[in-house]
């Protein structure tokens, strides 16, 4: 028996997870209690390949690296090619869909439809795509539950750094009154590089090369990516269903080298700070650049590292710092969801986020 996966999208994060599955095959088998087998990959540009008995993952990665496409993956007896994302979700024998297409900050599509199709077919979804969790969390988690499937979204906030399941599993009993942090790796990387003398454009180009930025980096720069993460935290951790129009949002586009120098001269530093503050049944939410003093714990969070502080009424502030983006780091978030599914199934327990 093996737990079968179908990847929808096979860019930075999808390949990151595939590499981890190859490298940690034995450990993953131990943790999951069964092998993990990739049976299908469907990507808009690279094409698609399906084999119900499993793909040769090393070969897949090699072919994609050499040719940028899945077309030259060998045509064995039961290999099928050319299936689009919805056919792959509905008609393959996958147990879990790994949804790693781009995040669409206006509509959340086509990822929302990918999740709907997976749940309707009784399949789990693990995803780092922020669209479905930010825009349709209530609908999709209800649909997953109705069909006995799991909606794994750990990677949507701060890549593999535990931010969603951790407070639900380890902080219950506290009232979390405020959440504050740096939730976007690309902008934090750009601000750090600009402090070190790099131009904005050089820093953005490097963040894109390294696979940190969104397919459309406007999302990072204008703060929409951080806004989505704020909405997900409000929904999942605070239980308040925010919409994008509830969050005031300003990115770093207006921060100039002169602003960076002025902050330095005042013993301060620019950071793109996200906040959620509970006011009774409501949450006041914002994303905005702030000039913070160097003794603020967020001031030392540099590069693609992110940080989050949960203000708890019983234990006080709890801060987690770690990777905010990256190929392996986000690949790991998906693995953590897969292992969580297996652990809960083994124990016969229900699922948290």
Ligand X SMILES: NC(=O)C1=CN([C@@H]2O[C@H](COP(=O)(O)OP(=O)(O)OC[C@H]3O[C@@H](n4cnc5c(N)ncnc54)[C@H](OP(=O)(O)O)[C@@H]3O)[C@@H](O)[C@H]2O)C=CC1
Ligand Y SMILES: N[C@@H](CC=O)C(=O)O
Binding site for ligand X (CB under 6 A): 8-14, 42-45, 85, 100-103, 110, 128-130, 155, 159, 211-212, 214-215, 325-326, 330
Q: How far is the CB of 214 from ligand Y (least distance, A)?
A: 5
Question: From the list ligand X, ligand Y, none, which binds 220 (C-beta under 5 to 8 Å, kind-based)?
Answer: ligand Y
Q: How far is the CB of 154 from ligand Y (least distance, A)?
A: 12
Question: From the list ligand X, ligand Y, none, which binds 45 (C-beta under 5 to 8 Å, kind-based)?
Answer: ligand X
Q: Are 179 and 342 in contact (CB under 8 A)?
A: no
Which residue carries 């602003």 as its tokens? Answer: 259
Using CB under 6 A as the binding rule, whether residue 329 contacts ligand Y is answered as: no
Q: Output the residue with the shortest Cβ distance to ligand X.
A: 11
CA-based nearest residue to 156, from 129, 134, 193: 129
The DSSP code sequence of 137-192 is HHHHHHHHHHTT--EE-GGGTTTTS--SHHHHHH-BTB-EEEEEEE--HHHHHHHH
CA-based nearest residue to 21, from 38, 8, 7: 38
From residue 283, alpha-carbon distances to 112, 137, 203, 208, 257 in Å are 25, 17, 34, 33, 34
Using CB under 6 A as the binding rule, whether residue 192 contacts ligand Y is answered as: no
Q: Indicate the SS3 state at residue 329.
A: helix
Q: How far is the CB of 109 from ligand X (least distance, A)?
A: 9
* CB nearer to ligand X: pick between 63 and 260: 63
Number of residues that bind ligand Y (CB under 6 A): 11
* CB nearer to ligand Y: pick between 70 and 325: 325
Rounded CA separation 81/70 (Å): 9
Beta strands in the chain (DSSP E): 2-8, 35-43, 47-50, 80-81, 96-99, 124-127, 151-152, 176-182, 247-249, 268-279, 282-293, 305-312, 316-323
Question: From the list ligand X, ligand Y, none, which binds 102 (C-beta under 5 to 8 Å, kind-based)?
Answer: ligand X
Q: Supply φ then ψ for residue 144, to 5 degrees.
A: -60, -50
Q: How far is the CB of 129 from ligand Y (least distance, A)?
A: 9
Q: How far is the CB of 23 from ligand X (least distance, A)?
A: 18
Residue 122, Ramachandran bin (φ over 0: left; ψ between -120 and 50: alpha; else beta):
left
* CB nearer to ligand Y: pick between 95 and 220: 220
Using CB under 6 A as the binding rule, whether residue 185 contacts ligand Y is answered as: yes
Q: Are 137 and 119 in contact (CB under 8 A)?
A: no
151-152 and 176-182 strand pairing: unpaired
Q: What share of the chain is helix, strand, coil (3-state, %, to 5)?
A: 40, 25, 35
Give the other-Cβ count within 10 Å of 206's Cβ: 16
- Structural tokens at position 77: 């007896």
Q: Which of positions 206-265 make contact with ligand Y (CB under 6 A)?
A: 212-214, 220, 225
> 4, 123, 130, 229: which is the annotated catalytic residue?
229
* CB nearer to ligand X: pick between 200 and 212: 212
Q: What is the DSSP letter of 263?
A: H
Per CB under 6 A, the segment of 20-28, 178-186, 238-246, 249-257 that binds ligand Y is: 178-186
Rounded CA separation 159/325 (Å): 5
* CB nearer to ligand X: pick between 11 and 289: 11
Question: From the list ligand Y, ligand X, none, which binds 110 (C-beta under 5 to 8 Å, kind-based)?
Answer: ligand X
Using CB under 6 A as the binding rule, whether residue 184 contacts ligand Y is answered as: yes
Q: How far is the CB of 103 from ligand X (least distance, A)?
A: 4
Q: How far is the CB of 158 from ligand Y (least distance, A)?
A: 8
* CB nearer to ligand Y: pick between 222 and 225: 225
* CB nearer to ligand X: pick between 167 and 324: 324
Task: Tell me if residue 229 is catalytic.
Answer: yes
Would you tell me which residues interact with ligand Y (CB under 6 A)? Answer: 159, 184-186, 212-214, 220, 225, 324-325
Catalytic positions:
229
């Amino acid at each position: 028996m093996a737990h079968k996966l179908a990847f929808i999208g096979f860019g930075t994060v999808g390949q990151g997870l595939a590499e981890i599955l190859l490298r940690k095959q034995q450990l993953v088998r131990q943790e999951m209690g069964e092998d993990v087998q990739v049976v299908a990959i469907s990507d808009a540009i690279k094409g698609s390949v399906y084999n119900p008995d499993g793909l040769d993952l090393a070969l897949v990665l090699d072919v994609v690296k050499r040719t940028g496409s899945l077309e030259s993956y060998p045509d064995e007896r039961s290999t099928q090619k050319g299936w689009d994302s919805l056919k792959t979700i509905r008609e393959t024998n996958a147990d879990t869909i790994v949804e790693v297409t781009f995040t669409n900050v206006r509509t959340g599509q086509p990822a929302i439809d990918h999740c709907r199709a997976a749940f309707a077919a009784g399949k789990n979804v693990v995803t780092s795509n922020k669209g479905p969790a930010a825009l349709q969390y209530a609908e999709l988690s209800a649909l997953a539950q109705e069909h006995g499937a799991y909606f794994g979204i750990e990677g949507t906030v701060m890549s593999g750094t535990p931010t969603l399941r951790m407070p639900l599993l380890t902080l219950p009993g506290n009232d979390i009154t405020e959440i504050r942090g740096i939730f976007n790796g690309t902008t934090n990387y750009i601000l750090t590089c600009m402090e070190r003398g790099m131009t904005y454009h050089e820093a953005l180009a490097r963040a894109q090369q390294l696979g940190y930025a969104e397919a459309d980096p406007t999302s990072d720069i204008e703060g929409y990516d951080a806004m989505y993460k704020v909405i997900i935290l409000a929904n999942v951790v605070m239980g308040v269903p925010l919409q994008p129009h509830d969050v005031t949002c300003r990115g770093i586009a207006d921060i100039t080298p002169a602003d960076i120098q002025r902050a330095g001269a005042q013993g301060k530093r620019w950071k793109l700070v996200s906040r959620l503050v509970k006011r009774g049944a409501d949450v006041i939410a914002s994303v905005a650049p702030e000039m913070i003093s160097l003794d603020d714990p967020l001031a030392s969070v540099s590069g693609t590292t992110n940080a989050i502080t949960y203000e708890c009424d019983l234990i006080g502030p709890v801060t987690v710092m770690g990777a905010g983006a990256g190929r392996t780091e986000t690949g790991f978030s998906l693995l953590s969801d897969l292992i969580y599914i297996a652990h809960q199934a083994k124990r016969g327990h229900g699922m948290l986020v």
